[in-house]
Amino acid sequence: MENKLKIGIIGLGTVGCGVVKVLSQFNDIEIVKAAVKNLSKKRSVKIDNLTDDPFQIANDPDIDIVVEVAGGVEIMDALIAAIKNKKHIVTANKELLARHGAMLFDLARENNVVILYEAAVAGGIPIIFPIKTSLLANTFNSVAGILNGTTNYILTKMEEDNLSYNECLIKAQKLGYAETDPTGDVEGYDAMYKIAILANIVFNLRVDISKIYCEGITKITAEDIKIADELGYKIKLIAQAKRINKANRDDILDIRVHPMLVSKNKPLANTKDATNAVLLNGFPVDRVMFVGPGAGEFPTASSVAGDILSIKSEISQRTNILPMAVCHHNEYAIQIKIEDTINCYFLHIEAKSEPGIIGKIGCACAQFGINISYVIQKGTTEDGRATIIVLTEECFEKDMNAMIEKLELENLIKVKNKIRVM
């Protein structure tokens, strides 16, 4: 067939192979060339024209769209070359976009090409395009989600099987849900890149990832999960971005990633295993949630292939394609520090079991203007230590930290975990 759309793929790993398989169903799309790191590696797909130099793709005059599914930031120079060569880009690379998206989108705009990245956030869930199209009439107050399947799988298994974090991590690694080095997932960085990208398009503001507070799940214990369950909550790694209405400004954002207690009545609490979910809150739509597979060969390839086909459907029709996909905003958000955020808290405390200990915790809370909504002592150990659980009403993070510091300095308590409540 004449006028086939010519694709160059950088990366033939999990996602790249899925993309090749999915695109093989389309007679009018041709994969001209693919770049990999290791030419001799066995793969589940066969590409005739294989190279280990991504610039051979970026500089190939035959290629219309460069599909970047290699990952990492090192691939950026090849993408810059591709954009300068007027090639459209489809990428799944959240880290690259979260770190260098502003520069890449500016460059794409200058060169009248688009960068589409549906797969970069929540894998197979369509979220970027719905925000940019169907939900365009909305002003959003917040976006929150479970954006990392690995951590959601681990937390689900800790809860269902009453296992430790380490036991569940090993299980996740055996099943291929977690990488050998799981840092990017379990420390929250993967979710941080995704919420940065989401905040960017939800609020039309650029985001500095170095200012996003990020805390992973490694300190969550099976005991925390069990106690939270008794109180009616699940523990989830939540990535969220909220608009803070202050001083008549609409560019102040609270963006963060950390574990949270989520009431079992809330839909995010019931998002299990490796499933992802994104909850948007805005006017006029109110609350809308997207749920689905956040990763995996075919779900992710679905989003990548969708982006390729979107470009294909427009490419022959106009010179300035997919105007809605172009990044139009230049302003940076003002991002508030975690100390200045307001939250409800769950405190898992180990204290000396002595008369009046709960009263002392109550007094310290009162001193810092913190209202307790629930407190319980869950027995005493043989060596005289009491487990005390406190739930608080909303207070400033800095006041909570100061209260904890005071009690710990007085050697009265040790906070085993402080988890914010959604």
Ligand X SMILES: NC(=O)c1ccc[n+]([C@@H]2O[C@H](COP(=O)([O-])OP(=O)(O)OC[C@H]3O[C@@H](n4cnc5c(N)ncnc54)[C@H](OP(=O)(O)O)[C@@H]3O)[C@@H](O)[C@H]2O)c1
Closest residue by beta carbon to ligand X: 13
Q: Which of 4, 6, 13, 84 binds ligand X (CB under 6 A)?
A: 13
How many residues belong to the site for ligand X (CB under 6 A)? 26
- Judged by beta carbon, residue 77 or residue 354, the one nearer ligand X is 77
Cα maximum dimension of the chain: 85
d(C-alpha 216, C-alpha 9), whole Å: 32
Q: Which of 300, 302, 310, 343 binds ligand X (CB under 6 A)?
A: 300
How deeply is 309 buried, as exposed, middle or buried, from its count of CB atoms within 10 A (0-12, 13-18, 19+)? Answer: middle
CB of 207 to ligand X, least distance (A): 18
- Judged by beta carbon, residue 197 or residue 413, the one nearer ligand X is 197
**Of 392, 285, 302, which Cα lies nearest the Cα of 349?**
392
Question: Phi and psi for 354 in degrees, rounded to 5?
Answer: -140, 155
d(C-alpha 156, C-alpha 277), whole Å: 14
What does each C-alpha distance from 146 to 40, 89, 153, 260 come to in angstroms?
37, 26, 11, 11
Q: What angle do CA 196, 201, 204 make, to 5 degrees?
A: 105
Q: Which of 5, 7, 9, 10 binds ligand X (CB under 6 A)?
A: 10
194 is catalytic: yes
What does each C-alpha distance from 45 to 10, 19, 21, 137, 346 come to in angstroms?
14, 10, 7, 42, 49
**Of 11, 192, 191, 200, which Cα lies nearest the Cα of 101?**
200
CB of 149 to ligand X, least distance (A): 8
- Judged by beta carbon, residue 77 or residue 331, the one nearer ligand X is 77
Choices 8-16, 82-90, 170-178, 310-318 (CB under 6 A): range interacting with ligand X: 8-16
Q: Which of 9, 22, 23, 35 binds ligand X (CB under 6 A)?
A: 35
- Judged by beta carbon, residue 58 or residue 227, the one nearer ligand X is 58
Binding flag, residue 296, ligand X (CB under 6 A): yes
Choices 125-133, 210-218, 295-303, 331-339 (CB under 6 A): range interacting with ligand X: 295-303
Number of H helices, E strands in the chain: 13, 18
Binding flag, residue 145, ligand X (CB under 6 A): no
CB count in 10 Å sphere of residue 394:
13
- 395 strand-pairing partners: 343
Site string for ligand X, 38-77 (x = CB under 6 A): x--x------------x--------------xxx--xx--
How deeply is 268 buried, as exposed, middle or buried, from its count of CB atoms within 10 A (0-12, 13-18, 19+)? Answer: buried
Choices 33-41, 195-203, 358-366, 414-422 (CB under 6 A): range interacting with ligand X: 33-41
Site string for ligand X, 113-132 (x = CB under 6 A): ------x---x---------
Q: Choosing from 94, 194, 242, 418, which is the catalytic residue?
A: 194
Judge contact between 15 and 92, C-beta under 8 A.
Answer: yes
d(C-alpha 15, C-alpha 69), whole Å: 6
Site string for ligand X, 80-109 (x = CB under 6 A): ------------xxx---------------
- Judged by beta carbon, residue 38 or residue 320, the one nearer ligand X is 38
Q: Alpha helices of 122-220 — where are they, by DSSP H?
A: 128-132, 149-161, 165-174, 183-186, 189-203
CB of 21 to ligand X, least distance (A): 13
Task: Write out the residues near ligand X by the rule CB under 6 A.
Answer: 10-16, 35-38, 41, 54, 69-71, 74-75, 92-94, 119, 123, 295-296, 300
List residues with catalytic annotation: 194
